[in-house]
Amino acid sequence: MFNTDLIHLLQSFDYPWLHSFMLFVSALGIIPVVLAFVLGITFAFDFRKGIVLINIITWTSLVTVILKESINYPRPADVDLSIRNEFKEQAPIDLKDKQPVAFFGLFSDELLNVTQHDDFERYGFPSGHTSIQVALWLSIMFLFRKRWYNAIGISIIVLTMLSRMYLGFHYLGDIVGGLAIGVIVSLLLLRYIKDSKFYTKRTHNYKSLSFLAFPLVLLLFPGVFNPKIVGGIIGINLAALLQILIMNVPVNNGYGFQRALTALIGIIIYLIGYYLPMIFGIPIKGYLGVLIMAVLSFACFFGALAFCRKVNLIRS
Mention every residue, 6+ apart, whose C-beta is less than 8 A from residue 281: none
In a shared domain, residues 152 and 252: no
pLDDT at 11: 93
Q: Which amino acid is at 160?
A: T
User: What is the Cα–Cα distance from 109 to 89, expressed in whole angstroms?
Assistant: 24
Predicted TM-score (pTM) of the model is 0.93
Distance of CA 227 to the CA centre of its chain: 15
pLDDT < 70 regions, the chain: 88, 120-121, 203
In a shared domain, residues 9 and 104: yes
Q: Which H/E stretch holds residue 315? A: strand 314-315
User: What is the Cα–Cα distance from 60 to 128, expressed in whole angstroms?
Assistant: 9
In a shared domain, residues 145 and 221: no
In a shared domain, residues 144 and 30: yes
In a shared domain, residues 237 and 175: no
Beta-carbon count within 10 A of 207 CB:
12
Q: Which H/E stretch holds residue 243? A: helix 227-247
DSSP string, 6-48: HHHHHHTS--HHHHHHHHHHHHTTSHHHHHHHHHHHHHHT-HH
Domain count of the chain? Answer: 2
In a shared domain, residues 237 and 189: no
226-240 confidence digits (pLDDT tens)? 999 999 999 999 999
In a shared domain, residues 237 and 299: yes
Mention every residue, 6+ apart, whose C-beta is less than 8 A from residue 199: 48, 49, 52, 143, 193
Q: Is the peptide bond before 126 cis (omega within 30 degrees of 0)?
A: yes
Range of the domain at 273: 201-316
In a shared domain, residues 129 and 170: yes
Which DSSP category does 211 fall into? Answer: G
In a shared domain, residues 212 and 178: no
In a shared domain, residues 54 and 111: yes
User: What is the Cα–Cα distance from 231 to 216, expressed in whole angstroms?
Assistant: 9
Last residue in a domain, options 138, 170, 197: 197
Last residue in a domain, options 168, 197, 226: 197
In a shared domain, residues 45 and 126: yes
DSSP 3-state assignment of 257?
A: helix
Mention every residue, 6+ apart, whose C-beta is less than 8 A from residue 258: 252, 313
CA torsion through residues 180, 104, 23, 88, sign: positive
Last residue in a domain, options 171, 197, 223: 197
118-164 confidence digits (pLDDT tens)? 776 678 899 999 999 999 999 999 999 888 899 999 999 999 999 99
Instruction: State the first-to-last Cα distance of the chain, in angstroms, to the nearest integer.
Output: 51
pLDDT at 224: 85
In a shared domain, residues 210 and 239: yes
pLDDT at 88: 62
204, 60, 72, 85: which is closest to 138 by C-alpha? 60
**In terms of C-beta distances under 8 Å and separation of at least 24 residues, what long-range contacts does 103-107 make, across chains too?**
103/1, 103/3, 104/1, 105/2, 105/3, 106/2, 107/2, 107/73, 107/74
